[in-house]
């Protein structure tokens, strides 16, 4: 489509910007700590600190999608090649989109994601 090039460019620029901000933070941290390690060595050690942040971000933002789309995946796993199989007994499973609707589920989701 018409937005593939601009979307790809934007994604690449966002990745480059986040990388630059991370490296700048590592560099400034090295300067403040008067570290004798190289920037690459420090960045390599500190990059693992981003993993739990990214994991928490994805859980907080995509839990509702997982709760609904995960049900579709469970149903599809019983018949992965659309051959009429029912390997796990879930091929005819009805998806409950209401799991993320209503005040009760909104309260539950808010507290899980908080």
Through-space distance between the first and last CA atoms of the chain, rounded to whole angstroms: 37
Angle of helix 4-33 relative to helix 39-46, nearest 10 degrees?
A: 110
Question: pLDDT tens across 69-104, in order?
Answer: 988 999 999 999 989 899 999 888 888 877 767 778
**Cβ distance 68 to 100 under 8 Å?**
yes
How much is the pLDDT for 41?
95
Of 2 and 36, the structure prediction assigns the larger pLDDT to: 36
Q: Is the pLDDT of residue 17 over 90?
A: yes
pTM of the model as a whole:
0.59
* Residue-range domain boundaries for the chain: 1-36, 49-114
């Amino acid at each position: 489509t018409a937005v593939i090039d601009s979307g790809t460019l934007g994604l690449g620029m966002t990745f480059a910007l986040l990388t630059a901000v991370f490296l700048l933070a590592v560099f400034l941290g090295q300067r403040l700590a008067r570290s004798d390690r190289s920037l690459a060595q420090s960045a390599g050690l500190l990059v693992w600190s981003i993993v739990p942040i990214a994991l928490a971000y994805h859980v907080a933002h995509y839990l509702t999608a997982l709760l609904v789309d995960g049900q579709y995946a469970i149903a599809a796993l019983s018949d992965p090649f659309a051959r009429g199989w029912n390997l796990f007994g879930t091929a005819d499973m009805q998806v409950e989109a209401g799991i993320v609707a209503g005040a009760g589920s909104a309260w539950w989701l808010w507290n899980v994601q908080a």
